[in-house]
Amino acid sequence: MVNDQPRLEVRARAFPTRASAERLPMMEFEFAVNQPGDQGAPSMAEIAWSTGNIPQALADLPPIVPGRVRREFQRLLQPWPQGRYVEAYRRSGGILNLFTPPWGEKQDEVWNKWQAEGQARTLRAEPQGEAFADDNARRAALAEWEPQWNNTPHPFFAGLTPAQVMVGGGPQEAKLADEFLAHVERTLAKREFEGEGDALIKTLLLLRGWQVEPQRNGQTPMQIITTERNELLARRARALAEKKL
């Protein structure tokens, strides 16, 4: 690709599990849509946020980009769901979640606990009634809980909020991801493991130690990643607000 077009680079890597290897392209796609163009040109995501026009956001992709990749970009650039960001279950979660075993809504103990506790509070207030008086009461309760879930750090997302997962990683995280994957190869590539589970555990331990180790600027990778994702969320909020004017 020429210099002023979005770049997508996927390198061959060694992974402890097939699931983590399959998650890598998704992470790379998320980095790519948040990659600014040359001279401060907006990223594909910023164009989609500000215009609502996905074809316009993809206009600078060269014809050689495969249809499968274009479809992934189109999926990532779709408007976010109303209410709870359930699409976060289908995002990579970036480098902090690259090696997390697959899970989904059924396994979300945090959301299930919130719903159970909310229903219990309602029953204590109305001991002779239903958990929710009617569908309107249930919708009102969900309208309160869903934004909280969207913006609360989630243990299943390695401490990221679902909103941070939705927005994807940026250039700083992309660089950190490359550095960590190279670190994994240097550290673990020549070791022998008892099986896939052993390899996964050792990789996760390496990741969790690395993410809290201060970098050259004194910030940890976790701090750099969350700060950048929060900046992307702020840009999205500004773009959507300006589009309404």
Q: What token pair was written down for 72?
A: 């992934």
Cα–Cα distance, 155 to 57 (Å, whole number)? 33
Average confidence score pLDDT of the chain = 85
Q: What is the pLDDT of residues 92-106, one digit of tens each?
A: 999 999 998 778 888
Q: So what's the pLDDT on residue 32? A: 97
Q: What is the pLDDT of residues 105-144, one digit of tens each?
A: 888 988 888 778 777 766 555 555 455 555 666 677 777 8
Q: What is the pTM of this model?
A: 0.86
Q: So what's the pLDDT on residue 137? A: 65
- From start to end of 85-178, where are the E strands? none
Q: Is the pLDDT of residue 72 over 80?
A: yes
Please, is 115 exposed, middle or buried when counting C-beta atoms within 10 Å of its C-beta (0-12, 13-18, 19+)? middle
Whether 7 and 32 have beta carbons less than 8 Å apart is answered as yes
Q: Is the pLDDT of residue 31 over 50?
A: yes
**Mean pLDDT of the region 24-39:** 93
**Reported confidence tier of residue 198, pLDDT bands at 50, 70, 90:** confident
Lowest mean pLDDT among 46-60, 123-137, 222-236: 123-137
Cα–Cα distance, 232 to 222 (Å, whole number)? 15
More confident residue, 36 or 216: 36
CA distances for 106 relative to 142, 161, 176, 237, 243, angstroms? 17, 18, 31, 29, 35
Q: Is the pLDDT of residue 162 over 60?
A: yes
Whether 166 and 222 have beta carbons less than 8 Å apart is answered as no
Q: Is the pLDDT of residue 81 over 60?
A: yes
**Mean pLDDT of the region 187-201:** 76
Q: Is the pLDDT of residue 5 over 50?
A: no
Cα–Cα distance, 227 to 99 (Å, whole number)? 21
